[in-house]
Structures are given as structure tokens and as C-alpha cells.
Amino acid sequence: MHGHLSHDTLVEVPAAVIWEVYRSLELGRLLNELLQDVLGRVEVVQGDGGVGTILKITFAPVEVFNYSYCMSWTNSWTYLHEEIFTKIDDEMRVKESEVIEGGYKDFGFEHCRYRLHIIEKDSESCIIRSSVEYEIDDKLKEIASQVTTKPMEILADGVGKYLKEKRSSSNYDIYIYLLCCFKLATFFLFF
């Protein structure tokens, strides 16, 4: 059984600014800083943020995301997985990752892909389209109802509000400058 869920979040921040965060490890840093109590924690296992980077994501207690069906299998309050970045397209502003260990795979899913697409609405706002694609054996279709985009929705909303607030403060230009310097330093470090 194949499935797909998608959710659009409108944010009042230019697409280019959102993409600079979403395409890099800055997204995980902001999750850890702003939303750790709500969503959980991101750790870099391997990589520099490009394709092939592996993240370990330890989510907040599962009752937040309605994984109650899966809870009966794990008897644990921690939901975690590792995912690998498989696509980062700067032109289309698309980032994809796949679960490689834990998470949905532990519950019988054969495949689970996350897709983030930043869509420019106008010069001052954009849409963050968060999607989950999955494949699971037809015998386990009741588990498929537990798939959700909720963590990505919360992340999009939180990051959008944070960047909007930063943008309206006098420190916004400094933040963007430092983010660009960090990207350049990372680039030159590997060449």
C-alpha cells in the first residue's frame, strides 16, 4: 500500500530566507533551540548538511503526535529514527530525506520519505509544503493511519514565526549575514 500526506504552511518570510534555513543544518539547530520540548532533538550522525547527511532524530513523547497504536508495540515513550538527505534542489527549493533506521521502519513500513518544498508566494511570503510518502504491506494498513505531517507543520510554523520576528528586529540583517558566512566557511572547509 502506497500513501501520501501533504500540508501547506503559509509563512510571512521570503522564500529565499526560508530556503537558506531549510536546505542546511540550520533547520535542525533551530529545532533544537526553539522546539526541543515540543518536537524533540536532532543530532548529526554524519555529513555537512548536503546530500548523504544522516540525522538521528529523537522525537518528543509520542502522545504529542498520536502514535498511540504504535506505542503498544514499543512500550517506550521515545520515538526516534535516522534519516538520510537524498535530494537538495536549490533551484526548485526541494529537500528530501528517507528514514533508514527506526521510526516508521520499526512499525513495518517498507519506505518512508519526507519532502519539504519551499514555494514563493510573493516577495514577502512563501508556502512550506511538508509531505510524507510511504509504503507498507496491505496487511498493516491500519498502522498507516498513524502517519502524520504534524511534526513538520509545527516546525514550519515555529521557524516561520521565529524568522518573521528576527526579520522585524534590527538584528535580522546580522543573522542573515552570519548564516551566509557560516555557509561560505563550511564550503571552503571542504575544499
**Active site (catalytic) residues:** 95
Sheet holding 109-122, edge to edge: 2-11, 125-136, 109-122, 94-102, 79-89, 54-59, 40-46
Secondary structure of residue 116 in the 3-state scheme: strand
Query: Which residues, at least 6 apart from 127, have a Cβ–Cβ distance to it below 8 Å?
Result: 8, 9, 10, 11, 118, 119, 121
**DSSP 8-class letter at 167:** H
Query: Which residues, at least 6 apart from 71, have a Cβ–Cβ distance to it below 8 Å?
Result: 62, 63, 77
Biggest CA–CA distance in the chain, Å, is: 56
Task: Please report where in the chains the cell 533544537 appears, as a residue.
Answer: 32
Q: Which three cell numbers mark 57? A: 532524530
